[in-house]
Amino acid sequence: MTFPYSRTKSGQQPCIIGIGESEYKRRGGHKDTSELTLLLQAIRTAANDAGIDARQLDGYASFGYERHEPVLVQTALAAEELNFSNIVWGGAGGGCCASVMLAALAVSSGMSQYAVAYRSLCQGQYERYGQFRPRPMYGQYLAPFGLMAPAQMTALTFRRHMERYGTSSDTLAEIAITIRQNAQKNPRAVMYGKPLDREQYFDARMIADPFRLYDCCLETDGACAIIITTMEKAEKLGKPAIPILASAQASGPRWSLGPMGTHNMPVDDYSTVNSRHVAKALYEQSGLTPADIDVAQIYDAFTGLIPMAIEDYGLCGRGESPRFIESGALRFDGKMPINTAGGLLSEAYLHGLNLVIEGVRQMRGTSTNQIESAKTCLVTSGGGGGHKSALILGRG
């Protein structure tokens, strides 16, 4: 699903004008603050950043099993109107960028004046996502085969990538260490002040071969919010506006729930993250090519998702990711710097919405790990599930 923003009326192009987040803490770290309170903190921070009163919000979008319905959030904010509300079906992290797309559709069409995309996630107060639990529709089919947790399910697809293209644990180590190094410049990151080296990486326990401990994302508590409006309204506010150059949501044939469910994907697509359809839509919509992307925030619930993702999005050729990554291309000073705030592996796991926030900071020029020449930022959502979504952001 795509939306041709270029066809919108003058001034109606959607843009991001506000970002907000709670403090990120390890799972259980917010035991004295409710998930709803953290969400309201994030939304009010985003509204203040946008230069509006949170009570002016009239559009709400979320994804990934969000517990707080828009009518509840509206009431808690004392917002006067609710003119749009929606949530991306299923998909967990795969629906992250799609929630921003929903908000963008709402403001571009005039249904909403100011829309917020949000996600709150306190694993310490509710369930642990990395732990086995009966999953509706598909858990009963996977558990008898020993697939009890997302790491095990996703490891199968990456193992095939290793067999086909010679990807190794050295590739994964480069990713984990690079992203952790980025987090050392970000005081908001849960892993700030905790660098990682190769010896630590390889000494860590195996979680689901080939994924070791540091190949798996954090389990954290917190909330994020992003406010979207039109360029016309942003100009009146006098606030920096980050244009959404493209947004897309898609899935390939027979993917269904992918490795998180059926493992019934076509053989040729098995060692991918099901994002080639999304990538095609993004580039067609924006008029850009992979060569035009300056920095990327790639969904990193597991390190193994990144080699497959950068191939799907054309940032390197298919099967070329091991050599590309091990050349240092993903580092801060490399050809394609990624996850500059620490990503889901080292900043926080908010089902990917913190990746969008870092994308906005890069385009504003305010990242703690700023790529000075960057004019475009790719943000991707999802890795192990079925449908995926993504954004391309531009400089304000």
The top-level CATH class assigned to 5-128+221-242 is alpha beta
At 8 the pLDDT is 56
Q: Which residue has the tokens 């009163």?
A: 53
Alpha carbon distance 247, 243 (integer Å): 11
CB-based burial of residue 371 (10 Å sphere; 0-12 exposed, 13-18 middle, 19+ buried)? middle
Residue 327 to residue 320: CA distance in whole angstroms: 11
pTM for the predicted model, two decimal places:
0.95
C-alpha distances in Å from residue 341, one per residue of 7, 132, 295, 370: 33, 29, 12, 9
Q: Rounded distance, CA 180 to CA 126, Å?
A: 27
Residue of 246, 226, 229 lying closest to 238 (CA atoms): 229
Tell me, what's the pLDDT at 202?
A: 98
CATH number, span 151-209+243-394: 3.40.47.10
Which residues make beta-bridge pairs with 115? 59, 228
pLDDT in tens, 310-345: 999 999 999 999 999 999 999 999 999 999 999 999
pLDDT at residue 1, as a whole number: 47
| Kind plus residue range of the DSSP H or E element containing 190 | none
Q: Give me the active site residues, please.
A: 299, 349
Q: Which two tokens stand for residue 131?
A: 């732990």
Tokens 């952790």: give the residue: 180
- Rounded to whole angstroms, the Cα distance separating 33 from 337 reads 35
Rounded distance between C-alpha atoms, residue 143 and residue 145, angstroms: 5
Domain with CATH 3.40.47.10 in the chain: 5-128+221-242, 151-209+243-394
pLDDT given for residue 144 in this prediction: 74
Please state, in angstroms and rounded to a whole number, the distance separating the CA atoms of residues 207 and 214.
9
Which residue ranges of the chain lie beneath pLDDT 70? 1-10, 91, 127-141
CB atoms within 10 A of CB 354: 29
